[in-house]
């Protein structure tokens, strides 16, 4: 086919499912299969108002950017906090058997507890508001970063240690010259999953009584029975999370050109 | 230095203990290698060739006996003894140039000097066009060239090669054999080369050491004085091939009879 089609093909294919879903949504609301969900057009109109105002002019008009920035600060802040803990702990567990024996059982025990279950305790420990939100997002992002770091450090090809040592790189120098670079693809995968999860748990994180944020908007929408507000919040989280992931993947592809497995 | 050979293996035993069994990988191995020799080790699978090579490299310690280099015990891996692995073991995150410069960089040489050395050895193995490529972009033959250059760039005196060309196609293998001989003749390196192939051993070696399994022993030590370059189709070559083949397979006969 033509060059233009080859360029557009991935986008066209990617749009099939969302468009089908949109058509189904339109059909369902037009035929009144449900009265509780607004039509795509109503949501679109509300989205415009949410972003720029000028249509309904209510409490949420033209506030999208404020809420988005509030959520982004929690997502990236919580994620950075998680990386700050998970990376060193992961390197420690991966490299030092004693650290593994002390920390691993405890961390594995805590792992199945969902972020939602931590919500009440977090509000007691960190109070109502932003600190709790950071803590919950951080918790959500922690495990994928930790587990992938441990995996990356432990699955270095043993031959590479032999190769390094016969070339004169021994002992602790191997940590920086062999372990860290060999583990980067895995660590990167952990960071990517961690950031994805940070977006994933943002609504729970913002159930902690923060006034602003996309999660807060969704919770308000639920309380006020304003489904279009809820759907707008969901769409913005989806799109923001998607863009954030694409940026991470593009960065990864640049930095990890040497790695065959890294083409997301 | 002159009074000691580069490598002496004296009465070396190697026993591996697994949970439920002990494996005698080597029993009473004796081998002396002089500087500048090209020695091939051949033998059936499991006869301890890799183990012997790994003891020379310092990756393994003998259970009994001594492994000496220049008369001093080998007590760990060292840049004077470079290993070329069958599966290359290149650092996938480093370019060809940086893989080759890994040893000099580890010695703490300044960046400019490391690059100069790396470029020299990139050229030696003919990979100028691929200097900034990553290992996954190279063919098997190119990867093995990098592995050889990486050891040479580090001023190794002894190059230990464990079936280095085993995974390559016949044509690539022949080219690399020629190149290796050329480098060996030019540099005066000492090479210990493990192979499964009698032809490869006879083509390359000044001495062929035949090993037999169960437990791993050195069966015979055969000096070859065929002139180089060797012609694999010549009657002399074939005579040696037959003689070595008989030694290599003799223990099968004994086993079958027992
Ligand atoms: N690290 C190890 N732990 C336990 N057993 C080992 C270890 N390394 C080698 N062996 C055993 O020692 C014996 C000799 O192995 P080695 O790898 O030296 O044989 P090889 O002659 O190189 O064989 P091949 O031609 O198949 O490579 C084998 O029985 C092997 O199973
Ligand atoms: Mg072997």
Burial grade of A243 (CB within 10 A; 0-12, 13-18, 19 or more): exposed
Confidence of residue B214 (pLDDT cuts 50, 70, 90): confident
Reply yes or no on whether the pLDDT at B254 is more than 60: no
Inter-chain touch B82–A170, beta carbons under 8 Å? no
pLDDT for res B202:
96
pLDDT for res B250:
75
Task: Express each pLDDT in B52-106 by its tens digit.
Answer: 999 999 999 999 999 999 999 999 999 999 999 999 999 999 999 999 999 999 9
Residue of A228, A254, A199, A250 lying closest to A60 (CA atoms): A228
pLDDT for res A230:
95
Inter-chain touch B92–A259, beta carbons under 8 Å? yes
pLDDT for res A81:
96
pLDDT for res A34:
85
Whether B183 and B30 have beta carbons less than 8 Å apart is answered as no
Reply yes or no on whether the pLDDT at A263 is more than 60: no
- B interface with A, Cβ–Cβ below 8 Å: 57-59, 76-79, 81-83, 85, 87, 89-95, 102-103, 106-107, 134-136, 150-151, 154
Average pLDDT over chain A, rounded to an integer: 93
Reply yes or no on whether the pLDDT at B258 is more than 50: no
Nearest CA to ligand 1 atom 25: B45
C-alpha to C-alpha distance for B190 and B192, rounded to whole angstroms = 7
Nearest CA to ligand 1 atom 28: B46
pLDDT for res A264:
46
Reply yes or no on whether the pLDDT at A1 is more than 90: no
Task: Express each pLDDT in A142-162 by its tens digit.
Answer: 999 999 999 999 999 999 999
**Probe target for ligand 1 pocket from B12, B15, B16, with the most ligand atoms within 8 Å of CB:** B16
pLDDT for res A122:
93
List Cβ neighbours of A221 (8 Å cut-off, separation of 6 or more): A227, A228, A229, A230, A233
Confidence of residue B3 (pLDDT cuts 50, 70, 90): confident
CA B54 to ligand 1 centroid distance, Å = 10
3-state secondary structure A26-84: HHHHHCCCCCCCCCHHHHHHHHHHHHHCCCCCCCCCCCHHHHHHHHHHHHHHHHHHHHH
Question: Would you kindly state where each structural domain of chain A is located, as residue ranges?
Answer: 1-37, 40-255
Task: Express each pLDDT in B230-239 by its tens digit.
Answer: 999 999 999 9
Atom of ligand 1 nearest to the CA of B53: 18
pLDDT for res A35:
85
B49 Cβ inside 6 Å of ligand 1: yes
CA B35 to ligand 1 centroid distance, Å = 27
- Which residues of B are less than 8 Å from A173 in CB distance? 106
Task: Express each pLDDT in A42-82 by its tens digit.
Answer: 999 999 999 999 898 899 999 999 999 999 999 999 999 99
pLDDT for res B239:
93
Does A40-255 carry CATH code 1.10.3720.10? yes
Tell me what the mean pLDDT of segment A222-248 comes to: 95
pLDDT for res A261:
66
pTM for the full predicted model = 0.90
Whether A94 and A234 have beta carbons less than 8 Å apart is answered as no
C-alpha to C-alpha distance for A182 and A217, rounded to whole angstroms = 42
Tell me what the mean pLDDT of segment B114-127 comes to: 96
Whether B220 and B242 have beta carbons less than 8 Å apart is answered as no
Atom of ligand 1 nearest to the CA of B54: 18
Q: ∠ at Cα B148 (B125, B14), nearest 5°? A: 165
Q: Considering chain B, what percentage of its residues have pLDDT values greater than 90?
A: 88
pLDDT for res B249:
82
List Cβ neighbours of A190 (8 Å cut-off, separation of 6 or more): A86, A90, A144, A145, A146, A147, A148, A149, A152
Atom of ligand 1 nearest to the CA of B43: 21
pLDDT for res A262:
56
Reply yes or no on whether the pLDDT at B255 is more than 70: no
Task: Express each pLDDT in A169-193 by its tens digit.
Answer: 999 999 999 999 999 999 999 999 9
Alpha-carbon distance A156 to nearest alpha carbon in chain B (angstroms): 11
pLDDT for res B105:
96
Task: Express each pLDDT in A3-39 by its tens digit.
Answer: 889 999 999 999 999 999 999 999 999 998 888 899 9
- Which residues of A are less than 8 Å from B83 in CB distance? 162-163, 166
Q: CA torsion A24→A30→A31→A33, rounded to 10°?
A: 70
Task: Express each pLDDT in B139-168 by its tens digit.
Answer: 999 999 999 999 999 999 999 999 999 989
pLDDT for res A140:
95
pLDDT for res B144:
96
Q: CA torsion A131→A136→A140→A142, rounded to 10°?
A: 50
Average pLDDT over chain B, rounded to an integer: 93
Test mutation, B51, B102, B164, chain A, max A CBs within 10 A? B102
Question: Positive or negative, the Cα torsion across B172, B175, B179, B180?
Answer: positive
- Which residues of A are less than 8 Å from B107 in CB distance? 168
Q: Considering chain A, what percentage of its residues have pLDDT values greater than 70?
A: 98
């Amino acid at each position: 086919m033509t060059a233009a089609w080859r360029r557009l093909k991935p986008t066209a294919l990617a749009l099939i499912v969302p468009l089908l879903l949109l058509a189904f949504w339109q059909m369902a609301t037009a035929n009144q299969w449900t009265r509780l969900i607004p039509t795509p057009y109503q949501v679109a109109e509300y989205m415009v108002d949410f972003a720029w105002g000028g249509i309904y002019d209510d409490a949420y008009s033209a506030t999208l950017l404020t809420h988005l920035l509030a959520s982004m600060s929690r997502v990236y802040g919580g994620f950075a906090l998680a990386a700050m803990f998970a990376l060193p702990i992961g390197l420690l567990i991966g490299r030092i058997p004693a650290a593994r024996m002390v920390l691993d059982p405890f961390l594995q025990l805590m792992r199945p507890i969902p972020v939602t279950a931590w919500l009440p305790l977090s509000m007691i420990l960190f109070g109502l508001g932003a600190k709790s939100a950071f803590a919950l997002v951080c918790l959500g992002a922690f495990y994928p970063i930790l587990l992938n770091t441990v995996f990356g450090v432990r699955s270095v090809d043993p031959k590479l240690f032999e190769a390094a040592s016969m070339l004169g790189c021994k002992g602790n120098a191997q940590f920086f010259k062999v372990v860290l670079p060999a583990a980067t693809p895995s660590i990167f995968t952990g960071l990517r999953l961690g950031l994805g999860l940070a977006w994933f748990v943002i609504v729970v994180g913002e159930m902690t009584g923060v006034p602003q944020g996309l999660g807060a908007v969704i919770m308000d929408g639920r309380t006020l029975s304003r489904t279009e507000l809820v759907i707008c919040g969901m769409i913005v989280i989806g799109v923001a999370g998607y863009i954030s992931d694409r940026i991470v993947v593009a960065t990864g592809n640049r930095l990890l050109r040497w790695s065959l497995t890294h083409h997301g | 230095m002159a009074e000691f050979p580069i490598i002496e293996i004296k009465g070396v035993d190697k026993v591996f203990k697994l949970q439920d069994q002990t494996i005698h990988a080597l029993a009473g191995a004796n081998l002396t290698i002089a500087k500048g020799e090209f020695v091939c080790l051949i033998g059936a699978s499991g006869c301890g060739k890799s183990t012997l090579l790994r003891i020379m490299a310092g990756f393994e310690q003998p259970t009994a006996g001594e492994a000496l280099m220049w008369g001093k015990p080998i007590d760990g891996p060292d840049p004077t003894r470079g290993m070329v692995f069958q599966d290359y073991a290149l650092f996938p995150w480093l370019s060809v140039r940086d893989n080759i410069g890994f040893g000099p960089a580890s010695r703490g040489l300044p960046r400019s000097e490391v690059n100069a050395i790396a470029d020299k050895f990139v050229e030696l193995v003919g990979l100028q066009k691929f200097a900034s490529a990553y290992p996954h972009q190279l063919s098997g033959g190119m990867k093995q060239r990098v592995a050889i250059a990486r050891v040479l760039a580090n001023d190794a005196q002894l190059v230990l090669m464990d079936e280095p060309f085993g995974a390559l196609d016949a044509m690539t293998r022949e080219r690399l054999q020629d190149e290796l001989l050329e480098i060996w003749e030019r540099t005066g390196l000492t090479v210990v080369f493990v192979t499964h192939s009698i032809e490869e051993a006879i083509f390359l070696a000044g001495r062929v050491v035949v090993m037999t399994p169960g437990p791993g022993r050195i069966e015979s030590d055969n000096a070859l004085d065929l002139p180089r370059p060797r012609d694999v189709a010549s009657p002399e070559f074939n005579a040696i091939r037959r003689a070595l083949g008989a030694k290599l397979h003799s223990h099968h006969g004994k086993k079958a009879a027992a």
